[in-house]
Chains A and B, each alone.
Chain A
């Protein structure tokens, strides 16, 4: 592991609100994208001429296109309710990581250009012109927001900093200031079909290998079908599920569930990615372009329904945005809800007695559950509000004997982000990622000490990748992180029941 050039907080099990430390992470910035990453997405390659005015012009355009941005720019009273809620503030003490201060980085430019008071009085009215130094702040701090929406829960006006950081990133992209990690990945997903740039042959190899592996281990021929026309179910999984641990164990879990359910299913090589980083950069058009591959694949393969794997922001895009982006669903069977989350599918199957489970297979585990931010605060599962909390927990309880909760202020709608969401899962942002996980790390440490927890299940590819990378910096074993469907996978008795 590379040595870190900053200090990692000590584990005490307590989440402490730090004193403010101005400029603490001003130096943390994303790598700039190459020109071709930007142009591939329709953004200018490099910094455009007269960019300050163009940025303001773009802000004006967005104020006319997004009710959220327009209302949020006016309504904040700086009451301070959000100031101690962001995991990046808690981890760094940098006051610009307080959600309201992050928003103010945009609001000061808004006041200068779109409010008579700011135009007239300037600094006295808290207004500032767009400039290089403002843009430097934007580039740092709008890339220290994981768009997790925790602040918006506590805001009396529901102001969501995610909306502001998305707008800021769209403005930056529009003047040629791109973030390499997101834009490069978006280039891959819109050409190859997944974020990893995994070609069809490699994907087929991986799936074949998995089939052999599962058969060797269990003696059952569990299939991992690829590009099967006429299958009933199209599975859209985050590409990390094809690649690394503990994601791949989750994919194995989905496959076993489908196997036991007796449904015909397939993965698509054309749309082999659930993630949609178009959301992170705030671009409706890019998000739609990425999502469109899934619609096209579903039509091409002639499936009846779409079931999606474990990924937080992607579930937000799927649950909340797909209907708008790539609906209506007139090419799918209206009997099913579109999209269906794999946890919804699995729980339904369990409740109908369609899975034979041996809970004792997970007896060595004491499990806790990390609510992923986007699932918790930007989506739903099932028919009732809050189903996104209850359904994954019900699945865990069905497959594990030992389940305990972390502190109630760190779960469900109050959950802390893993620290790697929102397009920040990249090495140059490691300082903010390590510091940003601190509230979750403390809450996890507390239940490990007090209740003997040794497993934290998650339903998000970013959470899993982030946790396995940064939790070891605090001294946790990376094996502590598990996929929800990894637990399911371990408890399933294959061939136990006929399909339901």
Chain B
């Protein structure tokens, strides 16, 4: 703890605290999904008749949002772009936690190309589109609650502050990496006292804490949705309801 400023100690505690809370609640929720029984077979049919087939169905859902594609092409476009861009942005951010930086992560900062940065721009644009769509389509406006706008705005602001730091209010990336790598290696270092970075970080911590209590749990839920994960082998294999009385 020697040489750490008061501000750093506060932020180090916040970072570890938020991450621990996120991880604990997220895992507890997922554990809950995993252990809650499925009394009956309820795959939405036609459904695969083998486990391998289900893996394929799930890969389609997770990697390409196949059901959403069936449902609404415009929502799919916005949602898919956002998630793809988010993945690229997260990949790029791994460079702050890994040393040496692995190749796929390094590619995201390829000089002159900067795919990770442009992904950030796409991500914010997609969020803006999704936000406007909520107000635009009467049906979607009706079902939208405060939390829906809130989370779009929160992630949007995280993206915006990130873009600001890249293009307008430059941050000492070396100092940031020292701090983040320190967190990752459990050898905490001082936080760079730069307002834009601190705002960016605070928003990320807020998202982390908010995440497992919110609809963002779809990240875990999608892997446990019985209508998609169950094999259609109802006649061939007897499915047992563990809480059936008879």
Chain A residues within CB distance 8 Å of chain B? 19-20, 22, 63-68, 70-72, 74-85, 95, 98, 100-101, 104, 115-117, 124-126, 149, 152-160, 163, 284-285, 288, 292, 319-321, 323-325, 327-328, 337-339, 376-380, 383-386, 388-389, 413
Contacts and interface: CB of A to CB of B under 8 A. Distances in A.
B45 A284 contact: no
B148 A124 contact: no
Contacts of B67: 81, 153-156, 158
B218 A324 contact: no
Given A158-B228, A380-B46, A323 B38 contact: no
Contacts of B75: 79-81
A281 to B, nearest CB: 14
A68 B61 CA distance: 17
Contact of B70 (A115, A153, A379, A386): A153
3 closest A-B pairs (Cβ-Cβ)? A154-B71, A81-B71, A75-B221
B42 A376 contact: no
For B42, B215, B245, which residue has the most chain A Cβ atoms within 10 angstroms?
A: B42
A117 B217 CA distance: 13
A126 B214 contact: no
B44 A386 contact: no
A125 B38 contact: no
A251 to B, nearest CB: 24
Nearest to A386: B46
A388 B46 contact: yes
Given A80-B139, A380-B46, 15 more contacts: A65-B36, A67-B33, A77-B215, A78-B144, A115-B213, A154-B67, A154-B70, A160-B42, A321-B41, A323-B237, A324-B40, A337-B235, A376-B45, A386-B46, A388-B46
Contacts of A75: 215, 217-218, 221-222, 225
A62 B32 CA distance: 13
Contacts of A115: 213
Interface of B: 29, 32-33, 36-42, 44-49, 53, 61, 65, 67-68, 70-72, 75, 79, 133, 137-140, 142-148, 213-215, 217-218, 220-222, 224-228, 232, 234-235, 237-241, 243-246
B51 to A, nearest CB: 14
B211 to A, nearest CB: 11
A255 B191 CA distance: 82
B143 to A, nearest CB: 5
Contacts of A153: 44, 67, 70-71
A148 B44 CA distance: 11
Contacts of B38: 66-68
Contacts of B33: 67, 70-71
Contacts of B226: 67-68, 71, 158
Nearest to A83: B139
Contact of B42 (A85, A155, A378): A378
